């Protein structure tokens, strides 16, 4: 039972059997000291037969020359034949490799005590030698024993006390798990991810603590536990209790408080309370700037944290300022190929990517990649991360062929470096799925999302949250295909997992409600959409601070439903609630503010208040001009709205001018044949129809249709183009052709929309 607890890191059993564990270790030490002279300093072989999951064995096979540790009491035998039988027995289990370890033991160099327990064992023929915990070996050759079955022999050499790699590793672990007795056990439980057990231990120790110093330390540790459990408010509360005790004897800016200020900043950052995060990160940096030399790497870490907050707030110029401060320190303090320099380049690349300055983003991502190429072996997983980052930039540019090229490079590395069911492989498949989804190639998107999902199903527990993300991705594709029943099926699967795995007010549950609400909104089922958006809102309002961006997102969704219902006063109420949150939480140039102005402008447009609609969309354009690169596709949205507003005002020349500006931006930003180009071609065609230029109208509508019929686009967008063509032919008095196109549009809408949807009424009226 104890060995199983040590293998599986079962904190409960380790705590309860800690004294027994120490006793076994001491007995082995005692026997070792009595038996050591029997070996006469000569090297001898030992054997161990056991089974490994295929994925775990592949890690051993790929790690020749590396270290392997057995984190339990290790039973070995002098008898090769008996050990081989144990290895063969393991083959009865599916997806398992039988392994015979042949261990070379030099008793004069051993770093771990071992002892023969033949006289104490019930199985004397096994000739058992028992090693104490955490025996470390260096991996040698790996050979196949039997070509007909997965049975291997692996050479291991017991590490010596003077093994430099082991000594450095041991030193680092000892420094990380400092302290004595129960405090050290608490550190160990944190290290192995047993946060609930660590909390239980620290809470018990806190109840028994009598002096302020011990109480302060325990509050700090409980804060870190709560942070790792994702309970950030409770983490802050514990850190504040620590500070309250420490401030009795220390000034506000004492160097020993910097780490706690940093941790509080980190917690506020996770909560989305960016001004509070900045407040504590700045307290940290003030202390460090006084206490450390100007080029200390620890300063760079703090500048990095502040840059991260400004990036999240959308204040990209400030984010760059702090990321570049961090980068300058690292350039001076570190060798040119140090991984921390690659992290800095990545962060700067991320900001430029968010700004839509894709050439600068690529420049910095490629700098990071060059460092990694020099510092790492060719199939290291961190290189795959680099390829993914570069691919992400090309995806944002709409250059999907380049995106796929880099995502596939990442996939090749991941396939070589990791076992076939590793979750990181699933992430690569997901990325490729995202690209095909953005391209509108929904069948390919589904193919890759399903590959990812199959891995998650094998690698993860049935109710693992990552499975819910996988169901969400598949649901999103079906939603984009307007296959709303399938979209609901997968969103509801995701929701069921989250209901079982998460507490009732977890924000991810709200995300599920939000997704289901989006499908009902697209179906035109306003009451069901509102029901689910309201469920999401209630959770977000309980779980998040009042100015969290996720609350703004759900207010936006509720506003959109009221807008679709024609209840414009309610729509404005919710859009303005969302806008107030964004105004407080984000910088004035954050792209999300542009979306807010866009939504408010949309309501005024629907109300027929065109001057206010223009005013809102002009504000949206100003924000986008400030925050985005000149050819960013999102710059096209305000021009599209200007075109729609002027068209409704019957100012057709200005409508045409703005739709053409929109098209010009999209042509530069997106690949030929992108579905968004089709929508704009159709809008231009509609203006030409209204101006009486039917030939030009038909030309642009056919351009739109040519794109839509050759890529997998949203069927409802295709339906709109058919209806626009029908209207043009009707005005040309070619009623037969008009009816043909109206019928095509109607058939799509009948398949995709509920029977009482207003868009069906429009087609019936036209026909």
Q: Find out whether 323 and 347 touch, Cβ atoms under 8 Å.
A: yes
Q: Could you tell me where the DSSP H helices lie in 502-567? A: 507-522, 526-543, 549-565
Q: Find out whether 760 and 724 touch, Cβ atoms under 8 Å.
A: no
> What angle (nearest 5°) sits at the alpha carbon of residue 244, between those of residues 240 and 249?
140
pLDDT of residue 345: 94
In sequence order, which residues have a C-beta less than 8 Å from that of residue 404 and are 6 or more positions away?
391, 432, 435
* Torsion region of 597: left, alpha or beta (phi above 0 gives left; psi -120 to 50 gives alpha): alpha
Collapsed DSSP state (helix, strand, coil) of residue 151: strand
Residue 123 CA to residue 117 CA, distance in Å, equals 10
All domains of the chain in start order, with CATH: 2-176 (3.90.176.10), 184-256 (1.25.40.10)
pLDDT of residue 5: 37
pLDDT of residue 2: 38
Which among 243, 249, 195, 192 has a CA at the least distance from the CA of 222? 195
Residue 547 CA to residue 584 CA, distance in Å, equals 7
pLDDT of residue 8: 38
pLDDT of residue 759: 75
Q: Which residue's entry shows tokens 């504000």?
A: 619
- DSSP structure class, residue 355: H
Residue 187: HSE in the Cβ half-sphere, 13 Å Cα cutoff? 13
pLDDT of residue 21: 53
In sequence order, which residues have a C-beta less than 8 Å from that of residue 65 and are 6 or more positions away?
138, 139
- DSSP structure class, residue 52: E
pLDDT of residue 24: 65
Collapsed DSSP state (helix, strand, coil) of residue 525: coil
pLDDT of residue 269: 87
CA dist list (Å): 741 to 690, 723, 737: 18, 6, 6
Q: Which residues share a beta bridge with 143?
A: 153
Q: Find out whether 433 and 417 touch, Cβ atoms under 8 Å.
A: no
pLDDT of residue 112: 74
pLDDT of residue 410: 92
Residue 86 CA to residue 75 CA, distance in Å, equals 12
Q: Find out whether 383 and 372 touch, Cβ atoms under 8 Å.
A: yes
Collapsed DSSP state (helix, strand, coil) of residue 497: helix
pLDDT of residue 165: 52
Residue 378 CA to residue 412 CA, distance in Å, equals 11
Residue 153 CA to residue 744 CA, distance in Å, equals 67
> What angle (nearest 5°) sits at the alpha carbon of residue 429, between those of residues 426 and 432?
155
pLDDT of residue 462: 79
Q: Which helix (H) or strand (E) holds 115?
A: strand 114-116
Collapsed DSSP state (helix, strand, coil) of residue 758: helix
Residue 333 CA to residue 734 CA, distance in Å, equals 76
Mean pLDDT by 10 residues, the chain (767 residues): 39 44 70 84 90 82 78 81 89 86 84 77 71 79 86 87 50 46 62 72 83 88 85 91 91 90 91 88 93 89 93 83 94 85 92 82 94 82 90 82 92 83 86 87 92 87 83 93 91 92 80 94 89 93 77 93 90 94 78 90 94 96 82 87 96 97 88 84 95 95 89 78 92 92 88 73 74
Collapsed DSSP state (helix, strand, coil) of residue 154: strand
CA 56 to chain CA centroid, nearest Å: 24
pLDDT of residue 731: 92
Extended strands (E) in 385-475: none
pLDDT of residue 28: 80
pTM of model > 0.75: no
Q: Which residues share a beta bridge with 44?
A: 105
pLDDT of residue 12: 47
Residue 457 CA to residue 42 CA, distance in Å, equals 50
Q: Compute φ and ψ for 202, nearest 5 degrees.
A: -65, -35
């Amino acid at each position: 039972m104890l060995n199983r607890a040590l293998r599986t890191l079962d904190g409960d059993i380790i705590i309860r059997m800690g004294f027994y564990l120490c006793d076994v270790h001491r007995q082995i030490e005692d026997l070792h000291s009595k038996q050591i002279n029997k070996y006469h300093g000569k090297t001898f072989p030992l054997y161990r037969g056991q089974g490994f999951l295929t994925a775990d064995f592949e890690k051993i096979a790929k790690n020749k020359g590396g270290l392997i540790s057995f984190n339990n009491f290790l039973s070995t035998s002098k008898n090769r034949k008996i050990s081989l039988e144990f290895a063969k027995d393991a083959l009865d289990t599916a997806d398992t490799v039988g392994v015979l370890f042949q261990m070379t033991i030099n008793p004069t160099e051993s770093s771990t005590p071992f002892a023969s327990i033949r006289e104490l064992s019930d199985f004397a023929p096994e000739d058992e030698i028992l090693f104490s915990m955490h025996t470390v070996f260096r991996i040698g050759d790996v050979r196949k024993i039997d070509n007909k079955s997965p049975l291997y022999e692996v050479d291991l050499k017991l590490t010596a006390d003077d093994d430099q790699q082991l000594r450095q590793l041991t030193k680092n672990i000892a420094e990380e798990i400092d302290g004595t007795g129960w405090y050290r056990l608490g550190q160990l439980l944190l290290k192995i991810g047993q946060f609930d057990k660590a909390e239980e231990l620290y809470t018990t120790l806190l109840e028994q603590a009598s002096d302020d110093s011990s109480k302060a330390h325990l509050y700090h540790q409980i804060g870190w536990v709560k942070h790792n459990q994702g309970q950030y408010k409770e983490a802050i509360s514990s850190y504040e209790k620590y500070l309250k005790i420490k401030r009795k004897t220390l000034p506000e800016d004492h160097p020993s408080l910097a780490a706690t200020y940093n941790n509080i900043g980190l917690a506020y950052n996770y909560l989305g309370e960016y001004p509070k995060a900045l407040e504590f990160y700045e307290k940290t940096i003030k202390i460090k700037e006084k206490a450390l030399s100007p080029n200390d790497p620890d300063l760079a870490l703090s500048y990095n944290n502040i840059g991260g907050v400004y990036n999240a707030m959308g204040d990209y110029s400030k984010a760059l300022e702090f990321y570049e401060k961090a980068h300058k320190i690292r350039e001076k303090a570190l060798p040119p190929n140090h991984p921390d320099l690659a992290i800095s380049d990545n962060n700067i690349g991320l900001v430029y990517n968010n700004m839509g300055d894709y050439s600068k983003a690529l420049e910095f991502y490629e700098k990071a990649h060059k460092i990694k190429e020099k510092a790492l072996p060719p199939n290291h997983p961190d290189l795959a991360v680099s390829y993914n980052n570069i691919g992400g930039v090309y995806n944002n540019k709409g250059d999907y062929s380049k995106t796929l090229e880099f995502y596939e490079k990442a996939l090749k590395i991941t396939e070589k470096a990791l076992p076939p069911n590793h979750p990181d492989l699933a992430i690569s498949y997901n990325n490729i799925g995202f690209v095909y989804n953005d391209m509108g190639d929904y069948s390919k998107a589904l193919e890759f999302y399903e590959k990812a999902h199959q891995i998650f199903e094998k690698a993860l527990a049935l109710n693992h949250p990552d499975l819910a993300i996988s169901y969400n991705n598949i649901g999103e594709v079906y939603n984009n295909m307007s296959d709303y029943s399938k979209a609901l099926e997968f969103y509801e699967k995701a929701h069921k997992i989250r209901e079982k795995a998460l507490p009732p007010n977890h924000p991810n549950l709200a995300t599920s409600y939000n997704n289901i609400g989006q499908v009902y909104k697209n179906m035109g089922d306003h009451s069901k959409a509102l029901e689910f958006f309201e469920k999401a809102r209630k959770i977000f309002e309980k779980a998040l601070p009042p100015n969290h961006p996720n609350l703004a997102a759900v207010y936006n969704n509720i506003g959109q439903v009221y807008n679709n219902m024609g209840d414009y006063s309610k729509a404005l109420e919710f859009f303005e609630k969302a806008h107030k949150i964004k105004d407080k939480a984000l910088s004035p140039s954050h792209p999300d503010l542009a979306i807010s102005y866009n939504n408010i402008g949309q309501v005024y447009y629907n109300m027929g208040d065109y001057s206010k609609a223009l005013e809102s969309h002009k504000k949206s354009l100003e924000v986008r001009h400030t925050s985005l690169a000149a050819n960013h596709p999102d710059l096209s949205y305000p021009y599209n709205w200007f075109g729609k507003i002027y068209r409704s005002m019957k100012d057709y020349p200005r409508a045409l001018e703005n739709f053409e500006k929109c098209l010009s931006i999209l042509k530069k930003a997106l690949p030929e044949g992108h579905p968004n180009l089709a929508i704009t071609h159709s809008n231009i065609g509609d203006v030409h129809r209204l101006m009486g230029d039917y030939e030009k109208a038909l030309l642009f509508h056919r351009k739109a249709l040519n794109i839509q019929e050759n890529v997998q686009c949203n069927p409802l967008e295709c339906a709109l183009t058919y209806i626009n063509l029908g209207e043009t032919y009707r005005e040309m008095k070619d009623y037969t052709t008009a009816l043909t196109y109206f019928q095509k549009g109607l058939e799509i809408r009948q398949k995709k929309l509920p029977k009482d949807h207003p868009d069906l009424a429009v087609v019936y009226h036209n026909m």
